[in-house]
Amino acid sequence: MRPLWLLLAVGVFGWAGASDGASRATRAMDEEIVSEKQAEESHRQDSANLLIFILLLTLTILTIWLFKHRRARFLHETGLAMIYGLLVGLVLRYGIHVPSDVNNVTLSCEVQSSPTTLLVNVSGKFYEYTLKGEISSHELNNVQDNEMLRKVTFDPEVFFNILLPPIIFYAGYSLKRRHFFRNLGSILAYAFLGTAISCFVIGSIMYGCVTLMKVTGQLAGDFYFTDCLLFGAIVSATDPVTVLAIFHELQVDVELYALLFGESVLNDAVAIVLSSSIVAYQPAGDNSHTFDVTAMFKSIGIFLGIFSGSFAMGAATGVVTALVTKFTKLREFQLLETGLFFLMSWSTFLLAEAWGFTGVVAVLFCGITQAHYTYNNLSTESQHRTKQLFELLNFLAENFIFSYMGLTLFTFQNHVFNPTFVVGAFIAIFLGRAANIYPLSFLLNLGRRSKIGSNFQHMMMFAGLRGAMAFALAIRDTATYARQMMFSTTLLIVFFTVWVFGGGTTAMLSCLHIRVGVDSDQEHLGVPENERRTTKAESAWLFRIWYNFDHNYLKPLLTHSGPPLTTTLPNCCGPIARCLTSPQAYENQEQLKDDDSDLILNDGDISLTYGDSTVTTESTTSSAPRRFLGNSSEDALDRELAFGDHELVIRGTRLVLPMDDSEPALNSLEDTRHSPA
């Protein structure tokens, strides 16, 4: 009887165990099904979010075409992209509500800090949860809506690692070096001194506003002077893309275009390094926001170190790419050549960021170096491909960022708008821009023969728009109350400057009587030759020392252009020169493939060869008048520089200038040369 009961008990317990195991397996299967459905739903939601941005860009492109077709200039494409982004953000925030999920459970847990990763034990299984951000207490019931808005809010690193590199690289790659270097001194003054002045003026004014807010009880969190300086650095980053696009379309005076474009290109680089230096300001002691001389000089050292290191890294990457494309036969495989160029250029940004430098500065100077050296080594097809590729990426990335700006005004969940801070910020940016442009222009005009006119100064003041760089710097850190207020205010500043100042560019050009319809290649037609040569001698002085070394040594070393190294290096370096000089260099030595050559076409640098006679021009600073073959004055020399089928020898490089049909024949020039004085 006892064995029977024992068998019965074993059977019951076995059946119960099997049943329990079956139920656990069923629950596990149900959990897997739910997890798969959630993953599928998340994938579908992500696809819909990306589709929203693609449709925004498509709609922007079509509207741009309509505006260009109608020749409407009151609103630029970037301002239009922002409007579309605002409309979509408004619909997402207030027009779409996601039903709450019954599986969402709110639990309270008392901890002293917010961990970035949380492990939760649910019935013996551990689940990992990551921190997504703070949620207000009154939004606990809107978790699903918050999740939807969070999904259309990108990680700030997406902007820095994916969207900014093509924009900054294209700025350097498409740089018109001729006009840039003619105004190099002025551009450096505006970009470095001007940005620093603007930063401290804005920071000081904003600190006064913050102090006023503390007195009136409007400040709900900490806001230190270093935060004010950081805000000054962020909004000092100008981005006159709207104005420059209109300038290009209307062919505005090239000097004004060069000053504004050059300042904006370097200004972005200076602003981001300046902001990094301010963040790195760390005095000794417990209070990290007091003034300390040692910490200040340390920040200045960090600024110089980061900028110079980033510059060196960008230039080095460009040099390596130039050497690879010169000493290999990649040009025979255009697709591989373009792919290598693209990857080397983009990796410069990531390499600099990984080493603790600033990718914006590195990729900017990489673009300039690639345009100056590597571009000459590429095949014709790759030259066209790289220009069109980065132009397309620049266009899409820029419009994507401006669309996202409009979207963020409604989808960002931690906005802090304070009327006093906003009004103070608008006053500060205008005063900071004025303190940058007008005093520096006055000082620069003391040393310039070609003065920066008051109308140019007013236009540069007006064109101080804020855009993609200011937005990217502001959104990178929104963890604290001060950073959230800075981000919200920066958004309003970008909206106002792009819509109001960008839309008023054409009217301002007309009001200030600035020349339009100027062909950059024909800009000096009608200008007296002696005045033209004086302008070149003045504008190139800062560049001429570098150009001599670059043209005779670096260009032949890194490209197939320029004079062969066998003609520029000493005889003792003959074997090395022959090894480093490509065969194409000997074939191209009769042609000067250099966009910057006009910068050195001034007195003292030119020798002319007519048949068997050679004449070298002397410096215009000499007090004694120079004679040409004893029969002609300097005006006759200018005429001979302008006419005839002659050969120009410039520091070892021979430039052949063919005679145009409209020019006088050589025999008539000979008659003029030998005619009595």
Backbone angles phi, psi at 378, to 5 degrees: -75, 155
Domain count, the chain: 2
Residues 307 and 198 in one domain: yes
Order of strands, sheet of 607-610, starting from the edge strand that comes earlier in the sequence: 613-616, 607-610, 646-650, 653-657
Give the range among 78-92, 470-484, 523-537 with minimum mean pLDDT. Answer: 523-537
254 burial type by CB count under 10 A (0-12 exposed, 13-18 middle, 19+ buried): buried
Mean pLDDT of 247-276: 85
**Measured CA distances, 110 to 54, 135, 234 (Å):** 43, 16, 37
pLDDT at 636: 38
Q: At what angle do helices 468-475 and 164-173 cross, to 10 degrees?
A: 150
Residue-wise pLDDT for 301-313, tens only, equals 888 899 999 999 9
Structural domain including 559 reads 541-587
pLDDT at 508 over 60: yes
Percent helix, strand, coil in the chain (nearest 5)?
70, 5, 25
3-class SS of residue 607: strand
pLDDT at 106: 63
Residue-wise pLDDT for 539-551, tens only, equals 445 567 777 788 7
pLDDT at 596 over 70: no
Cα 497 to chain center, whole Å? 18
pLDDT at 530 over 90: no
Nearest to 426 by CA among 484, 490, 469: 490
Cα 565 to chain center, whole Å? 35
Which helix (H) or strand (E) segment holds residue 120: the answer is strand 117-122
Of all residues in the chain, what percent carry a pLDDT higher than 90?
22
Mean pLDDT of 598-625: 39
DSSP string over 7-61: HHHHHHHHHHHHHHHHHHHHHHHHHHHHHHHHHHHHHHHHHHHHHHHHHHHHHHH
276 touches 327 (CB < 8 A): no
Residue 357 neighbours by CB under 8 Å, 6+ apart: 306, 309, 310, 313
156 burial type by CB count under 10 A (0-12 exposed, 13-18 middle, 19+ buried): middle
Q: What is the DSSP letter of 440?
A: H
Of 587, 610, 645, which marks where a domain is finished? 587
Assess if residue 230 is contained within a domain. Answer: yes
3-class SS of residue 85: helix
Backbone angles phi, psi at 27, to 5 degrees: -65, -40
Q: What is the DSSP letter of 161?
A: I
Q: What is the DSSP letter of 329?
A: -
pLDDT at 108: 66
Residue 619 neighbours by CB under 8 Å, 6+ apart: 603, 604
Assess if residue 248 is contained within a domain. Answer: yes
Residue-wise pLDDT for 130-171, tens only, equals 766 666 555 555 555 556 566 667 777 777 788 888 988 998
Nearest to 289 by CA among 212, 215, 210: 210
Which helix (H) or strand (E) segment holds residue 121: the answer is strand 117-122
Which residue type is seen at 14?
Answer: G
Residues 447 and 576 in one domain: no
pLDDT at 660 over 70: no
Backbone angles phi, psi at 519, to 5 degrees: -85, 120
Assess if residue 202 is contained within a domain. Answer: yes
Residue-wise pLDDT for 34-83, tens only, equals 667 777 777 787 788 788 888 888 988 888 888 777 776 667 777 888 88
| Residue, of 222 and 148, whose pLDDT is higher | 222
β-strand pairing of 646-650 with 613-616: unpaired
Residues 429 and 499 in one domain: yes
Q: How far apart are CA 127 and CA 150, in angstroms?
A: 21
Render the burial of 266-283: b for 16+ CB within 10 Å, e for the rest: bbbbbbbbbbbbbeebeb
Assess if residue 444 is contained within a domain. Answer: yes
Nearest to 80 by CA among 107, 57, 110: 57
| Residue, of 288 and 182, whose pLDDT is higher | 182
Assess if residue 631 is contained within a domain. Answer: no
pLDDT at 40: 79
Residues 502 and 567 in one domain: no
pLDDT at 390: 93
Mean pLDDT of 434-458: 90
pLDDT at 268: 86
| Residue, of 148 and 219, whose pLDDT is higher | 219
Residues 359 and 466 in one domain: yes
603 touches 188 (CB < 8 A): no
Q: What is the DSSP letter of 653?
A: E
Assess if residue 54 is contained within a domain. Answer: no
Of 531, 564, 587, which marks where a domain is finished? 587
Residues 421 and 553 in one domain: no
Residues 415 and 546 in one domain: no
Residues 383 and 438 in one domain: yes
106 touches 427 (CB < 8 A): no
Q: What is the mean pLDDT of the chain?
A: 75
Assess if residue 116 is contained within a domain. Answer: no
Position 14 confidence tier, pLDDT thresholds 50, 70, 90: low
Residues 405 and 506 in one domain: yes
Of all residues in the chain, what percent carry a pLDDT higher than 70?
68
Residues 503 and 385 in one domain: yes
Backbone angles phi, psi at 650, to 5 degrees: -125, 105
Residues 431 and 574 in one domain: no
Which residue type is seen at 558?
Answer: L
Q: What is the DSSP letter of 616?
A: E
Q: What is the CATH number of the domain that holds 495?
A: 1.20.1530.20
Nearest to 419 by CA among 478, 482, 485: 485
| Strand residues in 506-664 grouped as ranges (E) | 607-610, 613-616, 646-650, 653-657
Assess if residue 408 is contained within a domain. Answer: yes
Mean pLDDT of 17-32: 61
pLDDT at 207: 93
pLDDT at 538: 46
Residues 329 and 400 in one domain: yes
pLDDT at 282: 63
Which single residue is written with the structure tokens 């969402």? 104
